[in-house]
Structure formats: C-alpha cells, structure tokens
Amino acid sequence: MAKIQYDYTKPARTRMAPSPTGELHLGTLRTILYNYALARRTGGKFLFRIEDTDEKRAVEGSIDRLLDGTLAFGIDWDEGPRKGGDYGPYYQLEREKAGIYKKEYDRLLSEDKVYRCFCSEERLVQMREEMKASGKAPMYDRLCRNLSQEEIDQNLKEGKPYTIRIKIPLNQKLEYVDPMRGKMSWNTSDINDYVLVKSNNVPTYHGAVVIDDYLMKITHVFRGAEYISSIPVYVLLAQFLGYEPPILIHPSVLLSPVGKGKMSKRKNGELVFARVYLDKGYPPQAVLNFLMFLGWSHPDEKVNILSLEDFCKVFSLERLQPQPSKADFAKIDWYGGQYIRMMSLDELFNNINNWISNISNEELKKSAEVWIDRIKLEPVHFNKVLALLQDRLRKYSDMFELGEFFYSLPVYDSTFDWTKTNHDELECKAVIQGLNKELSAVVENNGWTQEKWEKAIRDFSEICGWKHGDMFMLLRLCIVGSPYSPNLLDSMNLLGAEECLNRMA
C-alpha cells in the first residue's frame, strides 16, 4: 500500500453532495464528518452540494432534513445551500438549467469521447436479462458506439430519444491510488460505457459529479466505499474533459452489529438514521464521537472522547483504516452517558428543553408533552429530579422511565418481581409493613432526616435477619417500582416522608 504523505498546511476544498432521497444516514454523517474535518484541519473550505438530478427517487422535504440534520450535529458548511458562494448554483438541477453540463457534453461529442445511445429501455432490459442468464455481469453491449454519422443523423432527424454514454477505451490498464487503500487497477474492457446524460438532457450522477467537482475546485472527496467501482469512469471522464481530478478517498465500510454484511435499514431498521438518535435525546456530540472512531484512530490510543473542534485538529488520512468497522450501536449509550455527566446541571436542563422542542418522532412527542407541563409548573423540583437522574442518563429520553416515579405511583401489578429481594412475596409484604411502622415512629419521635431513616432501615434489616442489600431492594421496589433507580435515599428525601410511607403501606 502506498504510504500517505499529505501536507496539512495546504488548504483542502472538500464537499458533501447527498441526493435528496431520504433521511440522513449514519454512514453519510460520518462521510460529512471526514470531509468537514479535513477542510478545518487544513484551513480550507467545506462545501455542500445537492445532487438532485434523480427526480424519480427524490423525497419531498428531504433536502431540508439533510441540511438541518447536519447542522444539528454542529457541522456547518462554508458554501452551499442557504449560504451561496462563488461557485454556485449548489443544486444540480439549477446547474443543468444554466447550461453548465450541456456546454461540456457538446464538446465531448465533437471530440468523439462520448456517444449518443438510441437504444430503447425495452432493449436494454432484455439485454441485461440475457447477460444475467448467461452468467455475465450486466453491462451495455456498446451497440450504438460505432454508429456511422449517417445513422446518427437519421436517428436525430426521426426524433429518436437518446442518452449520452462515455466511450471507455478498450483493453487498457487503468490504475488509481486511494490514499487509504493503495493501488487499484482495472482492465478498461470490463468497465461499462455508463450513461452520462439521460434522454431528458439531465445528467446522471456520473455525468454531473466530475464536472461539478472540477468547477467548484474540490481537492479531496471522502465518499462511500460503494463508489470504488466507479473510480474508473470518474478518472477517465476527468481526463477526457482535461481536468485534474480531486483525490478520492473511500473510508471503511460500516458493518451491521448483528448478522453479516453492511449496516442497512433492512438489517438494523431505523437505527441507521441519524435523526433517530437526536429524537431519542442522545447529545449530538455522543453520536459524532461514535462515528469518529469507526475506521479512524487517535494518535494517542487512550483518547476516546473528542469535541468536534479537537477532532478536526488531529484528524489525518494516515490514521484511517480501510478494514470494515462494526457499528456497535450500544457504544452510543456509553458516549451519551459520558457527555451527560460532563454537563453542568443548568446546561443539562437547557439541553433537555431544547431537545423536547425539536422531537419529530410522534410517540416520543406524546411522552414529552407530560414532561413539558411538569418542567413549566415546577422547574425547581424538576432540577432536583434531574440532579438525581444525571448519572444514570444515557440519553435525555431515559428520564421518561427513570424519573416517572417522582411524579406518579409505581404500578404494583401481577408482574411485580419480589424475588429481586431474595425473599418470597408473603415475607416481603410482612417485612415492608414492619419497616413502615419503624420509619413512621422515627418521623413522629424525631422528625425526618435522611440519616435517621438510613439508620432505622439498617437496624430493622438486622432485626429481621435480612441482608442490608435485600432490605434496600425491597424498599426500592416499593418506592420506585423497579430494581433500578437513582440513589434510593436521595430519592426518598426528595419524595418526602409522607409520600414514601404511603408507598410502603
């Protein structure tokens, strides 16, 4: 593999150019992150461009969700939609209407580097099926590649629709060095004569991306590993146009944490979408940290938490790994907990309020409505609840479950698991009644303090012959309704003596 030697003092111009066909994918967000980081590391520029030429697959509202989603993670662009810049327009359909692509393809046609293909869709479908049936990789059979000028003129006279295909040189060796993956090579005869311009005169992805990257002066492009197979057409088209192509870098594939193969919606459901993590209330920095270390390592291997700013300072091509990276979603929980614990209480309070107001998931919205009222009515009390929950939160929505017992009685139904105490139900009920009397006496005789109750609970557990842990578990089940909770005595202190005794009755 070729050794990377990159001068980070030379400003890089990078870009992200998603198609508006759906939600912001975690893999797309990682690619955005890498492009952004290289631009910031080198003092360059990061551009956003919308590749919207595939109108059939476009999803309404997708552009705004892509842009807003990127901003929600703290990543902003220097040029692009909503901002403009010196190299616009930043939407490909607008660039097509401005004649940017036509000018170049008229030139390539005159130079015989591309050709018109008059094949009907029906013929192309039949051709692909026949190739598959014979065990061949489906690719265009180049029927229209060698049409005479008379045949071309006649087809144009008859008004036959046509696409424009690249004229790949045959039986040549093409090499490319990816900074991550080293040297790759292809025999050009195995490369398809891709369609560059559709019959409606709108360029395809291949037909627009090379021109746009050159005219926008892009120097480096991080893009998904699925685009490796398209390197030859990118490089050859750039050569035909007389362009110096940017450095194309293909980071590691993100593997599914379950089963085999790549991370995908089919295997992993909604977990592949970045918006899901924002809706659930993971701090955006936690999701970014998770992505930072999928296929990249810090020079100091002990470092596993980085702000976006610090990541940009140390990001380098040398630390990228081509090997597939397993996307263990559980790590986002760990990062979420780390970031939440680093927040001041005021910061956490404000972040939760901002999060609640931006939830897009309808189910979570319903859960949040109750909490919005609670926060507004009793902000001081909510802050006290938050102080107790902070160490246990991995995401803001955890408070819906972990903090509910501060506002409503636990559900003591038939599924209530007394065995968590290591004693049976009858014994537990008898012991809790006795403990209720003991704690009631403490309140009547000495008043309520957390220290007095703790001593009384420990003393009573010894009288009963119970382990202290079992006694506190019994109390937790009665007060909280769950074997898991913030510090029990602190929680009881916040609930107050009367409420605690009622729950033990």
Residues 193 and 211 in one domain: no
- Does residue 95 belong to any structural domain of this protein? no
Residues 310 and 346 in one domain: yes
| pLDDT at position 449 | 86
| pLDDT at position 1 | 44
Please state, as a whole number, how many other Cβ atoms lie within 10 Å of the Cβ of residue 13.
23
Tokens of 76: 């902003």
- pLDDT per residue over 304-327, tens digit each? 899 999 999 999 999 998 889 999
Which residue among 147, 176, 197 closes a domain? Answer: 197
Residues 277 and 372 in one domain: yes
Q: What amino acid is encoded at 361 in this protein? A: N
- Does residue 3 belong to any structural domain of this protein? no
If phi over 0 gives left and psi between -120 and 50 gives alpha, with beta otherwise, what is residue 135?
Answer: left
Q: Which residues contact 77 (CB under 8 A, 6 or more apart)?
A: 16, 36, 46, 47, 48, 70, 83
Residues 153 and 233 in one domain: no
Structural domain tally of the chain? Answer: 4
Q: What is the domain-level CATH number for residue 60?
A: 3.40.50.620
Which residue among 354, 384, 406 closes a domain? Answer: 406
In 447-496, alpha helices (H): 450-464, 468-479, 488-495
Residue matched to tokens 């918006």? 275
Q: In Å, how far from its chain's centre is CA 266? A: 16
Which residue among 197, 216, 240 closes a domain? Answer: 197
Can you give the residue range of the structural domain that contains 50? 13-84+207-255
Residues 441 and 372 in one domain: no
- Does residue 381 belong to any structural domain of this protein? yes
How many Å apart are CA 320 and CA 337, to the nearest integer? 26
| pLDDT at position 5 | 67
CB-based contact 93:53 (threshold 8 Å)? yes
Q: In Å, how far from its chain's centre is CA 484? A: 30
How many Å apart are CA 378 and CA 414, to the nearest integer? 33
- Does residue 473 belong to any structural domain of this protein? yes
- Does residue 260 belong to any structural domain of this protein? no
- pLDDT per residue over 396-410, tens digit each? 999 999 999 999 998
Say if strands 220-222 and 247-249 run parallel, antiparallel, or are unpaired: parallel
Residue 11: φ, ψ to 5°: -60, 135
- Taking only the tens of pLDDT, the chain with its 505 residues reads 444 567 899 999 999 999 999 899 999 999 999 999 999 999 999 999 999 998 888 999 999 999 999 999 999 999 999 999 999 999 999 999 999 999 999 999 999 999 999 999 999 999 999 999 998 888 999 999 999 999 999 999 999 999 999 999 999 999 999 988 899 999 999 999 999 999 999 999 999 999 999 999 999 999 999 999 999 999 999 999 999 999 999 999 999 988 788 988 888 889 999 999 999 999 999 999 999 999 999 988 888 899 999 999 999 999 998 889 999 999 999 999 999 999 999 999 999 999 998 898 888 998 899 999 999 999 999 999 999 999 999 999 999 999 999 999 988 776 678 888 999 989 999 999 999 999 999 988 877 788 999 999 999 999 999 999 999 999 999 999 988 889 999 999 999 999 999 999 8
How many Å apart are CA 362 and CA 182, to the nearest integer? 47
| pLDDT at position 310 | 96
Residues 159 and 226 in one domain: no
Q: Which residues contact 240 (CB under 8 A, 6 or more apart)?
A: 108, 111, 113, 114, 166
Q: What angle do CA 470, 473, 477 make, to 5 degrees?
A: 140
Sign of the Cα torsion 149, 153, 154, 160 reads positive
CB-based contact 315:35 (threshold 8 Å)? no
How many Å apart are CA 47 and CA 218, to the nearest integer? 9
Q: DSSP letter string over 314-348?
A: H--GGGB--S-EE--THHHHHHHHHHHHHS-HHHH
| pLDDT at position 266 | 85
pTM, 2 dp: 0.91
Residues 423 and 395 in one domain: no
Residues 270 and 326 in one domain: yes
Closest by Cα among 134, 157, 140, 144 to 191: 140
| pLDDT at position 414 | 66
How many Å apart are CA 195 and CA 376, to the nearest integer? 58
| pLDDT at position 4 | 59
